[in-house]
Structure 1
Amino acid sequence: MATGWAGDGAVQDQIDATVKDGIARARRALPTGPSLTHCEECDKPIPVARQKAVPGVRLCVDCQEAADREEQGAGLYNRRGSKDSQLR
């Protein structure tokens, strides 16, 4: 049931687009290529077990955790907000 200017299925389209954006963002974040032997941020050695577990790894565990915390805080708002949410 559509209200206002929204067409039938608009809410589901918005949900689908948000999910697709999330999947694309996660895929872009996956490392690719050969693993580094030393962290590109702090130059600490990356253990061989981590290199094998995460192909294309570029950061040590500490630097990766810091990067994940920064990224998590940046993506918390919905860019595709509905008209109703923008009016409040």
Structure 2
Amino acid sequence: MPDEADLAADRESVWLARTIEAHRPRPQPGRLLCEDCEEPIPELRRQALPSATRCIRCQSALENRNA
């Protein structure tokens, strides 16, 4: 039988999963252009990562700046 600590941990896990899901970027239907350079996002990238809003070049540049 679970005790209060187990129940609290379960509630926290559910809350955390819901919070992460709520803040996860959502795919933007019809989003075909990079939000930075306005060039088309390649089809293979959109298939592999439907939530992508940047082309690979701009995403890499952003990650390098934030590193």
- Scaled by the length of structure 1, what TM-score is found? 0.44
Alignment of 1:11-30 (within 5 A): 11-28=5-22, 29-30=24-25
Q: Which has the higher helix share?
A: 2
Change (3 A) 1:50 1:25: farther
**Distance of 1:22 and 1:56 partners within structure 2:** 21
**Distance of 2:7 and 2:55 partners within structure 1:** 39
| 2:34 counterpart (8, 32, 39) | 39
- Number of equivalent positions: 58
Please state how far the C-alpha of 1:20 moved relative to its aligned partner.
1.0
Please state how far the C-alpha of 1:50 moved relative to its aligned partner.
1.2
Identity %: 17
Alignment of 1:5-84 (within 5 A): 9-28=3-22, 29-40=24-35, 42-45=36-39, 46-61=41-56, 62=59, 66=63
Q: Which has the higher contact order (CA 8 A, sep 6+)?
A: 2
Change (3 A) 1:19 1:60: farther
Q: Provide structure 1 residue ranges, at least 5 long, that are not aligned to the other structure.
A: 1-7, 70-88
Residue identity matched to 2:18: A
SS of 2:54's equivalent?
coil
